[in-house]
Amino acid sequence: MPAKNIFVTQPNLPDLEKFVSHLEKIWESKYLTNKGIYHQEFESKLSEFLGVKYCTLLSNGTLALLIGLKALKLTGEVITTPYSFVATSHSILWNNQTPVFCDIDPANFNIDPDKIEPLITSETSAILATHTYGFPCAIEKISDIAAKHNLKVIYDAAHAFAVEKNGTSILTSGDLSILSFHSTKVFNTIEGGAIVTNNEDIKKQADLWRNFGIANEETVLLPGINAKMNELQSAYGLLQLEIVEQEIANRKAITELYREKLADISGLKLFYDLPGVKHNYSYFPVLVDANEFGLSRNEVYDILRKKNIYARKYFYPLISSLPDYKKLPTASAEHLPVSNKIAGQVLCLPLFGALDLKDVEQISKILMQMR
């Protein structure tokens, strides 16, 4: 194995000369933030690229979650998944609401729609589901449940940039979706995020919440926060739009090679493209069955790490097992058997557009030799 470190994901970088050119224009304009020219252009082009009506750019995906909850004026309980990045549930706590954990579907790692309704109470105001690894949630079923019980629906789509189902962006589902543009994502602005929606009122609310609630020079309508995306991030994002399709194509080729090389390894469960879904290949998760494979997930992780292959136990530990959540009634392992099982088996292998196919072959060979 090469001496270089190979991480689970690495940022795709835009053309440096173009970025420097944008920086020079920003410097000359002396307009660094507060909806500058690049910010407005990026917001417009991003909406068009993603097939949504409205987009609110933000400084990161966590603030997008917080503002999404605020924009919908939610209170009480929010049904969500324990199998996600901690920001998903942290945002609920920050909004003075209670997370109610629902177990997940082992086929796609997403919230199990068949287990949602028993969790609904008079205090439930919304469902916050994650499109884990970019695999679409059961959008239609969740929509039906929400309509039946008059609930709002938020999708944590941090992994789902440009994902489509039956030719339509999955970001048009629910009341709103949030995106993360962290540097490890398929599409990044170094740090950044967004709320996307087809509802104009939600867009207006999100715009207010991201800028202290300021409506104009003399009017503050609500106690907002500072979550604006600046001009440098916006310029970077515009350049990323030019290369993101190639990044996804590269990731697809890497994913297909992994699948080819690892398909026959007993004890490693792989996941494949879903019918009618245009994937973005955010991650390459595998499940390690210790009984069949002969080694536990942790042992596989350690062996890879010693060879400078930085895979990730993503998501482990479960949110429901963390100190601020484990005392909740729905956080028990008995209530979340699938989530706990998968969290103990999952390993995301390195996947990013610039990953050399020879490294993919070497990683696969190392896994085969562990048997």
The upper half-sphere exposure of residue 214, i.e. CA atoms within 13 Å in the direction of its Cβ, equals: 11
The span from the CA of 237 to the CA of 235, in Å, is 5
Q: Inform me whether the pLDDT recorded for 2 exceeds 80.
A: no
| CATH node for 244-369 | 3.90.1150.10
Q: Percent of the chain having pLDDT more than 90?
A: 98
371 has pLDDT over 90: no
Which residues make beta-bridge pairs with 111? 104
Backbone angles phi, psi at 90, to 5 degrees: -55, -40
User: How far apart, in Å, do the first and last CA atoms of the chain sit?
Assistant: 18
Query: Quick one: CA dihedral 179, 185, 189, 190, positive or negative?
Result: positive
pLDDT band at 4 (very low <50, low <70, confident <90, very high): confident
pLDDT at residue 190, as a whole number: 96
Question: Is the domain covering 16-239 a CATH 3.40.640.10 domain?
Answer: yes
Q: How many CB atoms lie within 10 A of CB 4?
A: 8
pLDDT at 93 over 80: yes
User: How many whole angstroms separate alpha carbon 102 and alpha carbon 332?
Assistant: 11
Share of the chain above pLDDT 70, in %: 99
Alpha-helical runs (H) found in 51-191:
61-71, 87-94, 139-149
CA distance 8 to 184: 9
Task: Describe the crossing of helices 16-29 and 37-50 by its angle, rounded to 10 degrees.
Answer: 130
How far is Cα 9 from Cα 16, in angstroms, rounded to an integer? 20
Give the pLDDT confidence of 283-306 residue by residue, as tens digits: 999 999 999 999 999 999 999 999
Tallying the residues shown for the chain, one arrives at 371
Residue 151 DSSP symbol = -
Q: What is the pTM of this model?
A: 0.97
Ranges of each domain in the chain: 16-239, 244-369
pLDDT of residue 311: 98
In angstroms, the CA 204 to CA 210 distance is 10
Q: Is the dihedral of CA 98, 104, 109, 113 positive or negative?
A: negative
pLDDT grade for 238, boundaries at 50, 70 and 90: very high
Q: What are the φ and ψ backbone dihedral angles of 4, each rounded to 5 degrees?
A: -60, 150
Question: What's the CA gap between 220 and 12, in Å, rounded?
Answer: 39
Determine if the peptide bond prior to 317 is cis (ω within 30°): yes
Contact, 201 vs 227, CB < 8 A? no
pLDDT tens digit string along 100-155? 999 999 999 999 999 999 999 999 999 999 999 999 999 999 999 999 999 999 99
